[in-house]
């Protein structure tokens, strides 16, 4: 089998200076607006899990946990702040790789910087860069994988394929939704075989290169065996004990990686609802790029198709498959889960800007100005610089929305809740409230006498059983709707956080002070 000659990558790989520039500017913005302590929702859960080397909710995110533990060794801020900082670091890395992909597509610094700046300071990406979450590492790994693959398509050696496969495997270790990019690797394999650049040997090496990333999932059965806390794969029984899924078994591993824990929201939208959800996601893209970026992205997508069909296939596959999957997904916070979709749109924005630059140059150069060709040349060369205002506008508009540098409400609110419940209380709360309280208890040792149960892990029957068992014997505080019980009870308002909460007690008994 004859190998295809390698093509020179000179002029395709950008100089380091612009890449470092956009990374450092983005990192400075993220650092300046970083959450100073524990945040809500999954962020609080991850901060707790990483500190204890536990296991988060499905699909486990083992690479994220292990990387996060390294960041928690940094002597700065509290434990949650250090994990927030990891998000900022990976977000800045994503920005740098996005610039490289944009430069690969345009071979022009200015449109690449403008598009990358719009992405870096877009609300949906910036807001994920300042709290502990899995999405900026996910974006960084996928962006780097795509960049390496695009270099290979441009004629780079097959070693780039092995690097891409290694990165892809690591991406699985961070987030299982990486599987949505599998069609890209199918396309790569077909292209490899049909072009004569490799065969089964190269595909085997790629498969082997993926193994280190996939092996990170060994972490989860190991933590099951040693009894790590928390281990959030399973459910509560009626006595308030957490029944763990045994991830040392094949059925347990499948339960984990197939996200059975979230069956109720996987493919929750069907039929015509999917079209509505697609529209919502496209609206997020439109608003994320101030409207004008949406139009530029469409221009860039058309240009991409006309000048580089392989890159168009790779980027469109990733964009379209993620768009369709998340359109069916029922999570209320899914707008935070698609930074890679916004990243791809930013690359198309860069190409759209290039279309504008070329059109402007041709149109303006055709004018005949009495002031001379020198002035006309300066105008043609320098007028596009005004587009640097676009990332500055994004920065200005989104700064106040993304800035959580003084946001301590979650910590203050739930520390106050814990300090004001009675000794030995049972708190029934949802994910939003339970995770910050569990973090404060386990990491900082606040009110460890209180039992906090996340209602997400209870069904109606087990919640009724738990309330019936506890109501005569201990104080119960409930966040959200009142629970079922066969024992008549009364309720008294306790506090309002993001939901109302009540202290419940048996009917006929004395209300709490």
Q: Where are the domains of the chain?
A: 16-366+375-399, 409-506
Give the per-residue pLDDT at 3. 45
3-state secondary structure at position 218? helix
Which residue intervals of 337-388 are DSSP H helices?
A: 339-365, 373-382
Give the per-residue pLDDT at 361. 72
Give the per-residue pLDDT at 364. 63
Report the 10 Å Cβ neighbour count for 147: 20
335 burial via Cβ count (<10 Å: 0-12, 13-18, 19+) = middle
Residues sharing a CB contact under 8 Å with residue 209, sequence separation 6 or more, in sequence order: 162, 163, 165, 166, 169
CA R_g for the chain: 26
Bridge partners (DSSP) listed for residue 231:
55
C-alpha–C-alpha distance, residues 277 and 269, integer Å:
8
DSSP secondary structure letter of residue 237 = -
C-alpha–C-alpha distance, residues 313 and 231, integer Å:
40
The stretches in the chain having pLDDT less than 50 are 1-8, 370-371
Q: Of all helices (H) and strands (E), which one includes residue 482?
A: none
C-alpha–C-alpha distance, residues 245 and 253, integer Å:
9
Give the per-residue pLDDT at 426. 96
Report the 10 Å Cβ neighbour count for 491: 15
C-alpha–C-alpha distance, residues 206 and 158, integer Å:
10
Q: Measured on CA atoms in the order 14, 16, 21, 27, is the torsion positive or negative? A: positive
Give the per-residue pLDDT at 387. 83
Give the per-residue pLDDT at 338. 94
C-alpha–C-alpha distance, residues 366 and 375, integer Å:
14
Give the per-residue pLDDT at 11. 53
Among residues 244, 185, 160, 175, the alpha carbon closest in space to that of 216 is found at 175
pTM of the shown model: 0.92
> Does residue 169 contact residue 212 with C-beta atoms inside 8 Å?
yes
């Amino acid at each position: 089998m004859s190998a295809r000659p390698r093509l020179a990558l000179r002029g395709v790989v950008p100089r380091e200076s612009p890449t470092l520039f956009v990374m450092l500017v983005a990192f400075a913005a993220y650092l300046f607006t970083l959450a100073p302590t524990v945040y809500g929702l999954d962020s609080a859960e991850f901060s707790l899990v990483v500190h204890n080397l536990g296991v988060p909710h499905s699909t486990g995110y083992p690479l994220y946990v292990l990387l996060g533990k390294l960041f928690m060794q940094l002597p700065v801020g509290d434990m949650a702040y250090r994990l927030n900082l990891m998000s900022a670091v990976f977000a800045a890395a994503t920005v740098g790789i996005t610039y490289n992909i944009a430069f690969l597509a345009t071979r022009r610094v200015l449109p690449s910087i403008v598009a990358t700046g719009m992405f870096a300071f877009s609300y949906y990406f910036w807001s994920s860069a300042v709290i502990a979450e899995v999405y900026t590492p996910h974006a960084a790994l996928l962006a780097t994988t795509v960049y390496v693959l695009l270099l290979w398509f441009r004629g780079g050696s097959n070693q780039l394929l092995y690097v891409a496969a290694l990165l892809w495997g690591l991406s699985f270790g961070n987030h299982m939704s990486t599987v949505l990019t599998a069609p890209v690797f199918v396309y790569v394999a077909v292209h490899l075989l049909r072009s004569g650049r490799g065969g089964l040997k190269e595909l085997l090496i790629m498969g082997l290169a993926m193994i280190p990333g996939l092996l990170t999932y060994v972490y989860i059965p190991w933590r099951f065996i040693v009894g790590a806390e928390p281990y959030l794969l399973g459910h509560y029984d009626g006595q308030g004990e957490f029944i763990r899924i045994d991830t040392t078994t094949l059925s347990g591993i499948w339960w984990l990686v197939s996200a059975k824990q979230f069956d109720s929201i996987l493919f929750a939208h069907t039929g015509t609802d999917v079209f509505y959800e697609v529209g919502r996601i496209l609206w997020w893209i439109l608003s994320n790029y101030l409207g004008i970026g949406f139009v530029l992205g469409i221009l860039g997508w058309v240009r991409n198709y006309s000048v580089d069909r392989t890159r168009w296939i790779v980027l469109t596959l990733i964009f379209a498959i993620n768009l369709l999957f998340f359109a069916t997904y029922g999570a209320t916070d899914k707008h935070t889960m698609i930074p890679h979709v916004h990243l791809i749109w930013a690359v198309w924005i860069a190409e759209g800007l290039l279309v504008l630059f070329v059109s402007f140059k041709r149109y303006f150069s055709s004018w005949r100005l009495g002031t001379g060709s020198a002035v006309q040349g300066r105008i043609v060369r320098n007028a596009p610089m005004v587009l640097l205002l676009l990332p500055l506008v994004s920065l200005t508009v989104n700064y106040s929305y993304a800035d959580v540098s003084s946001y301590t409400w979650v910590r203050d609110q739930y520390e106050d809740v814990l300090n004001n419940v009675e000794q030995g209380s049972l708190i029934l709360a949802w994910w939003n409230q339970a995770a910050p309280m569990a973090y404060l208890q386990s990491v900082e040792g606040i009110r460890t006498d209180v039992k906090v149960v996340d209602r997400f892990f209870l069904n109606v029957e087990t919640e009724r059983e738990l309330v019936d068992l506890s109501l005569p014997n201990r104080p119960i505080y409930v966040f959200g709707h009142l629970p079922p019980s066969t024992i008549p009870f009364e309720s008294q308002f306790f506090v309002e956080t993001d939901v109302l909460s009540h202290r419940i007690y048996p009917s006929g008994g004395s209300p709490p002070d």
